[in-house]
Amino acid sequence: MVRHARAAVLALSAALAAASPAFAQWKNIPSAPSLAAPAPRTSDGKPDLTGVWQADGQTYFFDLAAGLKPEDVVMLPWARALQQQREANEHGDDPLARCLPHGVPRINTNGLFPFKIVQTPTLVVILYEQLNLFRQVFLDGRTLSGDVNPTWLGYSTGRWDGDTLVVDTRGFNDKTWLDTRKGRPASDALHVVERFRRPKYGELEIVAKIEDPKAYARPWTTTVQRNHLQTGTDLLEFICAENEKDRAHMK
């Protein structure tokens, strides 16, 4: 029974909207070439990451440390206790189950909802279908001030390292869940480095580094998260607060 309840809550967190319908909204969408072709390039010679992407599965959404050894991710005692409490509480505290943002880098990992990258030379916008969120990644030379409002999704700057877009994000609140089944916490000292690479036309790789000295004994880095290009479709409108019936049933 407990297992069933937990599975149900997890499924709820994962899906939120069961009714993600078919996507025949648009006709005459420009078609993509072979997905095995090389990544396209922008006029400034950088790889163009623009496109609709979706995680290969739920692996990292559930466990951001998937594929790592236990000793790679060393939580401080308070963080471990909180993580265990979240599991014991059957994930009923997950912000995502209350229509609140996923946090970073969890926001990239849900294999049930696509996101869209819109790349310009000085600004990369990422639009997320789930909860209808967006992030801005600034590549115009700006720097973050020392005193920022804490946020769910942080403040992001980017730079190119060869063919990899490296995104630095700071300025988080202390409510981040790094993943869903594990419920790993983070503090307001969290600094996430996401490395986005498009090895071929149809594929996007993300590697995320977690640095949070208040929560983890040392920085740790995920294994390679694969995402697939979603062709012939686009993001749907997702309004979590509309007719929301779940919250009342969660402990």
Partner 1 sequence: MRRLVLLAVAALAIARPGGAQWMNVPRGASNVAASAPRAADGHPDLSGIWMAENQRFFQDLAAGLRPDEVAALPWARALSQQRESRLHSDDPLAHCLPHGVPRINTNSNFPFKIVQTPGLVVILYEQLTLFRQVFMDGRWLADDLNPTWLGYSTGRWEGDSLVVETRGFNDKTWLDTNKGRPATEALHVTERFRRPTFGTLEIVATVDDPKTYEKPWTTAPQRLRLQSGTELLEMVCLENEKDSSHLVGK
Per CB under 8 A, the list member of 4, 44, 237, 248 interacting with partner 1 is 237
Distance (Å, rounded) from C-alpha 247 to C-alpha 251? 8
Q: Kindly determine how many residues on this chain lie close enough to bind partner 1 according to the rule CB under 8 A.
A: 46
231 binds partner 1 (CB under 8 A): no
Candidates 32-40, 68-76, 93-101, 207-215: pick the segment binding partner 1 (CB under 8 A): 93-101
Would you say 153 and 163 are in contact if contact means Cβ atoms under 8 Å apart? no
Whole-Å CA distances, 166 to 54, 124, 157, 207, 226 = 19, 11, 8, 10, 16
146: burial class by Cβ within 10 Å (0-12, 13-18, 19+)? Answer: exposed
- Which of 123, 161, 219, 249 lies at the binding interface for partner 1 (CB under 8 A)? 123
* Site residues (CB under 8 A) for partner 1, limited to 131-170: 132-134, 136, 138, 140-145, 147-149, 151-153, 155
The candidate with the shortest Cα–Cα distance to 40, out of 31, 29, 30, 32, is: 32
- Site track 37-76 with partner 1 (rule: CB under 8 A), x = hit: ------x---------------------------------
Least separation in angstroms between CB 129 and partner 1: 10
| Residues 6+ positions from 85 with CB-CB distance below 8 Å | none
Say if CB 64 and CB 106 are below 8 A apart.
yes
Q: Which two tokens stand for residue 4?
A: 């069933």
Binding site for partner 1 (CB under 8 A): 21, 24-30, 43, 98-101, 118, 120, 122-123, 125, 127, 132-134, 136, 138, 140-145, 147-149, 151-153, 155, 171, 234-237, 239-242
